[in-house]
Amino acid sequence: MYDSTSYHSFNLSQQLASSGQSGAQSLAGMMRVMTGLALSAAICCAVTLAPHDAWAASPEVCASGETTFGIDVSRWQGEIDWTAVAGADVKFVYVQVSRALNDIDPMFESNWQGAGAAGIARGAYQRFQPDEDVLAQADLFINKLAAVESADLPPVLDVEDDGGLSSAAIAEAVAQWLNHVEAATGVRPIIYTGRFFWEGAAASADFTGYPLWIAHYTNGCPTIPNPWTSWAIHQYSSTVVLPGISANTVDVNRFNGSLEQLLALGCGTQCASCEPIAATGAVIDESSACYRASGSPSSWRLESEGYEGSLRWTFATDAAEADNLGQWEMFFAQEGRYQVEAYVAAPWGQSQSASYEIQHGGTQSRAQLDQSAADGWASLGEFQFAAGGEQWVRLGDNTGEPLSSQTQIVFDALRLSRIEDPGSDPDPDPDPDPDPEPEGRSGLIGGCAMVDGGSSWPLLLLLLALLRRQRIRD
């Protein structure tokens, strides 16, 4: 899609080569060159004014730095093994809600829950039909999101159908959807489109206040539609075979930035930022912006107990995969070794086999905790963390205890405490010297500076010699 290009070139080398060496031939050759230049200029001006050729002149726009890998899915990907997808280093996914008012994606809920349980950041998109009721489409999108666990990423409007409308009508419909959804969610949406569609059907309408998700299938940098000058997401292929997705190939994307920057786009006006963990450590409560819960909202219970008066719990299960999951995101200001503790308030924690997964410094570890024996802070162990993000602690409800047992598993605060490196400064406050030099000496004797014994002998000999001469004179 959207990746066809054409190029125009004008070569005057043959005209230049044909100019003769004699005066008459040189004059004639010069006239031919000047005529060629004038014609070329006129053609170039015409090319510049031609819409299709103006698209061809659009420059490639590359990422500004690091990028983050993600996918987008719909019914066409069938049943997805989201654990395998997460294992393929997929950091984010966009899930289709609908293609039209009477064409709702039947896989939306299962894809949403599965991606969240696997710890993948989620967002939703709607393929837009500008000739249908705009507000009805927007409300369908909003209501679908309201029925599931909250999104991590900004909403997306997929603009690739014109519905037979004029450019002005398409732009008006797009603006109506964006304004309605942003007002309802508090988050500025992203526009997905292709360069040729936008510059043609939408007549390059100016929506540069919204991030651009550009569809351009290339291994290089994409070309983007006027008047945007940068992109947020680049969809660069639709034919990738990915572990966990067997029914079809899948669209792959790269976000122009880090995962933390992508998640920050999804915060909008309704969530605080996830603060970096200071070198000395921090407490991450389940009510903070650094904690994410996934699964069915009806499965979670909120209590006015626990650390700082709030905790969440759900029932444990013996399922192979987690249905409900809590994840504490961590971004460290400084690398180091930290003790990790979980807060469990009695009698809410009843699981005897809560299994915490810790992602730290590129390594994954597990820690088992008997929540039923805890009442306060309980240690999960000591771990080495790297500076930066993509580190977390994750707890799922699949502890192995059957749902019929109605065993509660608690999700509350985590505490991270820095453990000093033994090689840094083993005694930052050493004991005083047991035999200090008396105050006032400080290398001085009777107000005279002490000198090295080897260097004092010449001075003594000189003094003795002077005394002897004095005696002789006397």
Nearest Cα residue to 124 out of 173, 190, 66, 175: 190
Concatenate the DSSP letters of all residues of 83-131 into one string.
HHHHHTT--EEEEEEEEETTEE-TTHHHHHHHHHHTT-EEEEEEE--TT
Please confirm, yes or no, whether 435 is among the known catalytic residues. Answer: no
Please confirm, yes or no, whether 160 is among the known catalytic residues. Answer: yes
What single-letter DSSP state applies at residue 151? P
Q: In this structure, are strands 388-396 and 325-332 parallel, antiparallel, or unpaired?
A: antiparallel
Q: Report how far residue 85's alpha carbon sits from residue 115's, in angstroms, rounded to the nearest whole number.
A: 9
Q: Report how far residue 54's alpha carbon sits from residue 455's, in angstroms, rounded to the nearest whole number.
A: 88
Q: Which helix (H) or strand (E) holds 458?
A: helix 453-473
The residue annotated as part of the active site, out of 105, 149, 152, 158, is: 158
Q: Which two tokens stand for residue 127?
A: 């393929």
Q: Which residues of 49-71 are buried (b: 16+ CB within 10 A; e: fewer)?
A: eeeeeebeeeeebeeeeebbebb
Q: Report how far residue 12's alpha carbon sits from residue 32's, in angstroms, rounded to the nearest whole number.
A: 10
Please confirm, yes or no, whether 390 is among the known catalytic residues. Answer: no
Q: Which two tokens stand for residue 109?
A: 């809920």
Q: Report how far residue 365's alpha carbon sits from residue 381's, in angstroms, rounded to the nearest whole number.
A: 10
Q: Report how far residue 75's alpha carbon sits from residue 95's, in angstroms, rounded to the nearest whole number.
A: 9
Tokens 């389940």 map to which residue? 286
The residue annotated as part of the active site, out of 81, 109, 132, 160, is: 160
The residue annotated as part of the active site, out of 72, 149, 285, 341, is: 72
Q: List active site positions.
A: 72, 158, 160
